[in-house]
Chain A
Amino acid sequence: MSDHLKLHTEGDDAEVTRGLRKLYAAPEGDSYWRGLEARILARLTSAPSIGWWDELDNWMRPALAAAAVVLLAAGVAMFRAYQVEQDTTYEAMLTPTTLPVETAVRPVLLEQRDATFRYLMTSR
């Protein structure tokens, strides 16, 4: 940037800055500022104070969100447990038993055989 251009730009900016300062000039006169001060203080005293119920109210939203998350997690956990139980039952029904049928009936046959043997021995 040449010096000439820089000086020209600075001069332009100074002019704009002067305009901005006029445009944004704060109100003059102590009476205005005393009035604003009084309004600020009046606002402080008229505004409702923050009591414990307001604090509670501030906590209400995060507490509700946390409760919703907990409920959702519990629901998911219960659903998964139910699904696992369902799957186990279903698989148990479909899975063929590995034990031979003979094993299942053998105690009954043994009992009959013993009874027959006892009968033969006692009837002699």
Chain B
Amino acid sequence: MQSDAAKMLTERDHVIAAQKGSESAFAELVRLHHRRAYAVARAIVISHEDAEDAVQEGFLHAYRALDRFRSDQPFGAWLNRIVANAALDLVRRRKVRDADELPETVALPFRDPGEADELRRRLGDALTHLTDRQRSVIVLHDVEGYTHGEIGSMLGIPEGTARSDLHHARAALRRLLKDIRSNS
């Protein structure tokens, strides 16, 4: 296994090569970061398909803005911010589109008819009661393990706001899932 320093050096080398126009170096960066980028996008958007779109869009933006990236900075954090922005943009566009559609056509995004796990189904429904930002913050923190500061940086909000969103999201989920947990 590569040490962190060696990994960082390799990544930096790839970044510098990609900035000089090497497509294979950028492909290597994609290979190194696409799973994390997917996780970031998935925390923000509603569906798996939207997460894939946001990841592809994010990498495209990063590729085009590569000459503006300072190679002494961590590439992953920079990329995650771009992917998060692409995901937020997608959520905004979906909202505008959904607002134009009939209410019947707006599906509950987390509902899976074949899902037997009651908590999981109810959790999916409960998440729809959170704001987009609260949902993103709780998933990025509790599922992906990002710190408040990292989340704030990705979503373009102060660290304190991320902390407050997490608190309110947890409280809301506790309240919404109270009956299910009292039965278990």
Interchain CB contact under 8 A, A22 and B48: no
Interchain CB contact under 8 A, A20 and B138: yes
Indicate if A93 sits at the interface (CB-CB under 8 A).
Answer: no
Bits for A31-43, please: 1 = Cβ < 8 Å to B, else 0.
0010011011101
Interchain CB contact under 8 A, A15 and B35: no
Interchain CB contact under 8 A, A27 and B123: no
Instruction: Report the interface size for chain B: residues with CB under 8 A from the other chain.
Output: 35
Smallest CB gap from A11: residue in B = B181
In B144-184, the 8 Å CB interface with A consists of 170, 173-174, 177, 181
Lowest 5 CB-CB distances: which A-B pairs, in order? A19-B123, A17-B142, A43-B56, A40-B59, A24-B143
Interchain CB contact under 8 A, A19 and B64: no
Instruction: Report the interface size for chain A: residues with CB under 8 A from the other chain.
Output: 25
On chain A, the residues within 8 Å of B39 by CB distance are: 24, 26
In A37-59, the 8 Å CB interface with B consists of 37, 39-41, 43-45, 47, 50
The distance from the CB of A22 to the nearest CB of chain B, in whole angstroms, is 6
CB within 8 A of A24: which of B43, B60, B174? B43
Q: Which of B6-14, B26-34, B68-76, B87-95 contacts A (4 or more CB under 8 A)?
A: B26-34
A68 to B71, CA, bound (A): 39
Indicate if A114 sits at the interface (CB-CB under 8 A).
Answer: no
A-B contact pairs, 26 of them (CB 8 A): A13-B142, A15-B119, A19-B123, A20-B142, A21-B143, A23-B110, A23-B123, A23-B124, A23-B127, A24-B43, A24-B143, A26-B38, A26-B42, A36-B34, A36-B55, A37-B27, A37-B31, A39-B56, A40-B30, A40-B34, A40-B55, A41-B30, A43-B56, A43-B60, A44-B60, A45-B23
CB within 8 A of B52: which of A9, A23, A36, A45? A36
Residue ranges of B at the interface with A (Cβ–Cβ < 8 Å): 23, 26-27, 30-31, 34-35, 38-39, 42-43, 48, 52, 55-56, 59-60, 63-64, 110, 117, 119-120, 123-124, 127, 138-139, 142-143, 170, 173-174, 177, 181
CB within 8 A of B48: which of A16, A27, A33? A27
On chain B, the residues within 8 Å of A13 by CB distance are: 142, 170, 174
A113 to B39, CA, bound (A): 111
Interchain CB contact under 8 A, B31 and A24: no
A109 to B14, CA, bound (A): 102
Interchain CB contact under 8 A, B38 and A19: no
Interchain CB contact under 8 A, A39 and B27: no
Indicate if A12 sits at the interface (CB-CB under 8 A).
Answer: yes
On chain A, the residues within 8 Å of B52 by CB distance are: 36, 39
On chain B, the residues within 8 Å of A21 by CB distance are: 142-143
CB within 8 A of B174: which of A16, A33, A44, A45? A16
On chain A, the residues within 8 Å of B117 by CB distance are: 22
On chain B, the residues within 8 Å of A20 by CB distance are: 123, 138-139, 142-143
On chain B, the residues within 8 Å of A40 by CB distance are: 30, 34, 55-56, 59
